[in-house]
C-alpha cells in the first residue's frame, strides 16, 4: 500500500498529518509540491475527485493576494492553472492512495481512512 502525502513542509497542518501518520506507523511518501512540483495530471485527478472548489484554498494568504479579476473569473480550468502557478493555493495536506484522495487533516478522518 503506497500512501503519498502532498503538501508543503513548513505548513502546520501538514506537520500534524505527518506526525499522526508516523505515530500510526503508516509508511508514507512525502511530496512537497512547492519544492517537488505538481503535474497538471495530478491536480486534475484531485479536482475530478473532489471538485476544484474543495481543492482551492480560499482562506489562504495566497488567495487573498489574487486580484479581484482573478477571483471573479474562477472556474475549473482557471483554478487549476492558478494552483499550478501558485501551489500555496492548494488546500493541504492532500493524502493519496491509489485512486482515493483525502483533503485536509482531521485525526478522525485519517483513522477512518486507514481502518477501512
Element (H, E) at 31: strand 28-32
Q: Is 11 known to be catalytic?
A: yes
Candidates 3, 8, 11, 74; catalytic one: 11
Cell of 3: 500512501
Burial code (b: 16+ CB inside 10 Å, e: under 16) for 74-95 equals beeeebbebbbeebbbbbbbbb
Q: Which residues are catalytic?
A: 11
Amino acid at each position: 500500500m503506497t500512501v503519498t502525502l502532498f503538501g508543503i513542509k513548513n505548513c502546520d497542518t501538514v506537520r500534524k498529518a505527518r506526525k499522526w501518520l508516523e505515530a500510526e506507523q503508516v509508511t508514507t511518501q512525502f511530496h512537497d509540491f512547492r519544492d517537488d512540483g505538481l503535474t497538471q495530471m495530478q491536480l486534475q485527478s484531485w479536482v475530478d475527485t473532489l471538485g476544484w472548489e474543495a481543492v482551492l484554498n480560499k482562506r489562504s494568504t495566497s488567495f487573498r493576494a489574487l486580484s479581484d479579476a482573478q477571483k471573479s473569473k474562477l472556474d475549473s480550468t482557471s483554478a487549476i492553472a492558478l494552483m499550478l502557478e501558485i501551489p500555496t493555493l492548494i488546500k493541504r495536506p492532500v493524502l493519496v492512495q491509489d485512486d482515493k484522495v483525502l483533503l485536509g487533516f482531521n485525526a478522525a478522518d485519517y483513522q477512518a481512512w486507514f481502518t477501512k
